[in-house]
């Protein structure tokens, strides 16, 4: 069977790490037909917008996309392509597994976390305005619909993947209405899954507890902003953003991408670590029910890490992006 997938190379190191990931996915023997479409800074020059309609239509048609990082200007410029893709395609669930990897130096061991982040609202709705000069208001949107469906996603994932506990992360002691609504929805859904333990923790305490001992948590369920921050924190437990894969999932499609950004300072230098994108590709294979191929990709990544001879500089090595890709691809085919 062949799968048609929208491929978005992205900005900065995006084209390099995506080429590495495609090389590894091709080594699995699973047949892909890639529809390459632009997004981000790379799309503006040719199409005038960072997210061309043709890119959106390609993802809608194929229902699966594989995306490189895109650049978002700070304090100005165009809105985040990631946020726009998630909202326009209603990819409401952001799934980020965080697992200790062999051979990666870290002060933490035996980490095995799943971060589930609501992807479509909260402060990321982008509703901001100037009240008077020097005063800006940013509106936080929390709805019963979005909170309920992300809770259902988290608990259903726990049920189907043998997870024992879901912890909702909030700031309802201060934001009593918005975060309070989120908690009410999570509590209602939790009652439908008596086999899964449910508890709650305030977000600042959660961050402290994670740093002290991340193994005390199983699954974290968060609103959009908290999820963005906490998932990056969790990536630090396993070697950094270069090792953290991710997925954005909706009812009518899914988009797979690494947690890290476009790293323009090392773009074009063959220095970027492609493992997060490759592991995101393994998540895509699982989504396509190609579980054996996904397991082979993960095993190949683990083997290369364990051997320790082909590592990028962020992991203490000197190997380049293409060398890593070839080493992993060789393990997949071998």
Active-site residue set: 124, 171, 204, 228
Using DSSP bridges, classify how beta strands 135-138 and 112-118 pair: parallel, antiparallel or unpaired. Answer: unpaired
Is there a contact between 50 and 39 (Cβ–Cβ < 8 Å)?
yes
Residue carrying structure tokens 């024992």: 164
Q: Please, how many CA atoms are within 13 Å of residue 66, restricted to the half-sphere of its CB? A: 29
73 closest CA partner among 262, 212, 217: 262
The alpha carbon dihedral of 183, 186, 191, 196 has a sign of: negative
DSSP codes, 167-197? EEEE-TTTSTTHHHHHHHHHHHHHTT-TTSE
Residue carrying structure tokens 């709705």: 125
Alpha carbon distance 129, 131 (integer Å): 6
Query: If phi over 0 gives left and psi between -120 and 50 gives alpha, with beta otherwise, what is residue 75?
Result: left
Residue carrying structure tokens 């632009």: 38
5 closest CA partner among 63, 55, 53: 63
């Amino acid at each position: 069977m062949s799968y048609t997938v929208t491929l978005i190379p992205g900005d900065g190191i995006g084209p390099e790490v995506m080429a590495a990931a495609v090389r590894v996915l091709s080594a699995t023997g699973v047949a892909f037909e890639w529809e390459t479409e632009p997004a981000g800074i790379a799309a503006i020059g040719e199409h005038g917008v960072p997210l061309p309609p043709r890119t959106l239509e390609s993802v809608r048609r194929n229902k699966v996309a594989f995306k490189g990082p895109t650049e978002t200007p700070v304090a100005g410029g165009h809105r985040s392509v990631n946020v726009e893709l998630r909202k326009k395609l209603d990819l409401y669930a952001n799934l980020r597994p965080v697992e200790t990897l062999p051979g990666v130096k870290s002060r933490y061991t035996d980490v095995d976390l799943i971060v589930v982040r609501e992807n479509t609202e909260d402060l990321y709705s982008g509703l901001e305005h100037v009240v008077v000069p020097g005063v800006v208001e940013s509106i936080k949107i929390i709805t019963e619909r979005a909170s309920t469906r992300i809770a259902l996603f988290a608990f259903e994932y726990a049920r189907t993947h043998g997870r024992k506990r879901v912890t909702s992360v909030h700031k309802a002691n201060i934001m009593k209405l918005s975060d309070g609504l989120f908690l009410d929805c999570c509590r209602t859904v939790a009652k439908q899954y008596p086999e899964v333990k449910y508890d709650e923790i305030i977000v600042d305490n959660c961050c402290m507890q994670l740093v002290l001992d991340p193994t005390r948590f199983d699954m974290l369920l968060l609103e959009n902003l908290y999820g963005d921050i906490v998932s990056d924190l969790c990536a630090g437990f396993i070697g950094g953003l270069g090792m953290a894969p991710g997925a954005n999932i909706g009812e009518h499609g899914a988009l797979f991408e690494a947690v890290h950004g476009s790293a323009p300072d090392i773009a074009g230098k063959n220095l970027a670590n492609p493992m997060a994108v490759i592991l995101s590709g393994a998540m895509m294979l699982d989504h396509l029910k190609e579980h054996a191929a996904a397991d082979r990709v993960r095993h190949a990544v683990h083997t290369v890490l364990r051997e320790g001879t082909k590592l990028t500089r962020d992991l203490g090595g000197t190997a380049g992006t293409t060398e890593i890709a070839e080493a992993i691809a060789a393990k997949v085919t071998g």
